[in-house]
């Protein structure tokens, strides 16, 4: 700081008072990366708003029929805003699907490791998985995974493969429970076929379920359990 003071003090035309002001300003200048502006801090919120709007529109209208202008309008932004965050509509589609799968994985993992869950009988553990899956598909903010189920072919092969890894991680969470149920005789079908059939049946609910007309998610879960497992006397 002394070297800085001397350079400022002996600068031609700089009075002592002005030199002190410059020294104070230099001393108060924060080091490291500059602080983000309000707009920069809001970038994450804007990106999430675009993802949410895109998921809703892709699910309701389909990917091909939805424009980036539609998405920007639904998010309350200018028409070019999506391209600030995403290179293309296809990139936005992939981001929606990736967000949906990461959220689904987090929910199911939380359900699996919830206190006391490991001590429950396998049928009760499956009930937890089914209920959490219905939340992913049909609960609040549930547009993301349904978009993935029916629009993933719009993605390049490389991105489909990346999503396939996340889907595999998600489905793997079901295997220990289904294996235990098969061993106990409560599940007759081979485990891997049972996993495909169960998830296929659950996923189809996004096509017909109407919360205003149909059963509750808990009632759906109970009905699914009665369908999938053999009752024991």
Q: Over pLDDT 70: what percentage of the chain?
A: 80
| Residue-by-residue DSSP string for 84-145 | HH-SSHHHHHHHHHHHHHHHHHHHHHHHHTSTTGGGS-HHHHHHHHHHHHHHHHHSTT--HH
Q: How many CB atoms are located within 10 Å of the residue 46 CB? A: 17
pLDDT number for residue 156: 92
* 3-state secondary structure at position 175: helix
Residues across the chain? 233
Both structure tokens of 50 = 């675009």
Token digits of residue 91:
């990139």
pLDDT at residue 41 in the model: 46
Percent of the residues in the chain that have a pLDDT greater than 90, as a whole number: 71
Burial (CB count <10 Å: 0-12, 13-18, 19+), residue 109: middle
Q: What is the pLDDT of residues 12-51, one digit of tens each?
A: 554 555 555 545 555 554 555 445 443 444 666 889 999 9
CA angle 94, 96, 100 (to 5 degrees): 115
The string of pLDDT tens digits covering residues 47-86 is: 999 999 999 999 999 999 999 999 999 999 998 888 999 9
Tokens of 73: 């309008």
Q: What is the pLDDT of residue 215?
A: 87
Distance CA 144, CA 151 (A): 11
CA dist 127 → 17, 121, 173 (Å)? 76, 10, 13
Average pLDDT over residues 96-123: 93
CB 19 within 8 A of CB 6: no
The predicted model scores a pTM of: 0.78
d(CA 61, CA 44): 25
Domain ranges of the chain: 88-228
- What is the topology classification, in CATH, of domain 88-228? Tetracycline Repressor; domain 2 (1.10.357)
> What is the tens place of the pLDDT at every residue in 139-180?
998 999 999 999 999 999 999 999 999 999 999 999 999 999
């Amino acid at each position: 700081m002394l070297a800085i003071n001397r350079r400022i003090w002996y600068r031609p035309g700089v009075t002592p008072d002005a030199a002190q002001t410059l020294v104070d300003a230099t001393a108060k200048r924060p080091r490291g990366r500059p602080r983000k502006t309000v707009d920069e801090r809001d970038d994450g919120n804007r990106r999430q708003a675009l993802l949410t709007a895109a998921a809703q529109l892709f699910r309701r209208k389909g990917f091909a029929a939805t424009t980036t202008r539609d998405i920007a309008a639904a998010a309350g932004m200018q028409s070019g805003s999506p391209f600030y965050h995403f290179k293309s509509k296809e990139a936005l589609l992939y981001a929606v699907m990736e967000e949906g799968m990461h959220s689904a994985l987090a929910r199911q993992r939380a359900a699996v490791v919830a206190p006391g869950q490991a001590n429950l009988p396998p049928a009760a553990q499956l009930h937890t998985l089914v209920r959490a899956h219905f939340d992913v598909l049909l609960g609040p903010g549930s547009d993301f995974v349904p978009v993935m189920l029916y629009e993933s072919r719009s993605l390049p092969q490389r991105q489909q493969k990346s999503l396939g890894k996340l889907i595999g991680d998600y489905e793997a969470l079901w295997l220990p429970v289904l294996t235990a149920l098969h061993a106990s005789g409560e599940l007759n079908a081979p485990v891997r076929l049972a996993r495909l059939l169960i998830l296929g049946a659950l996923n189809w609910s996004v096509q017909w379920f109407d919360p205003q007309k149909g059963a509750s998610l808990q009632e759906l879960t109970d009905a699914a359990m009665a369908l999938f497992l053999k009752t024991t006397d």
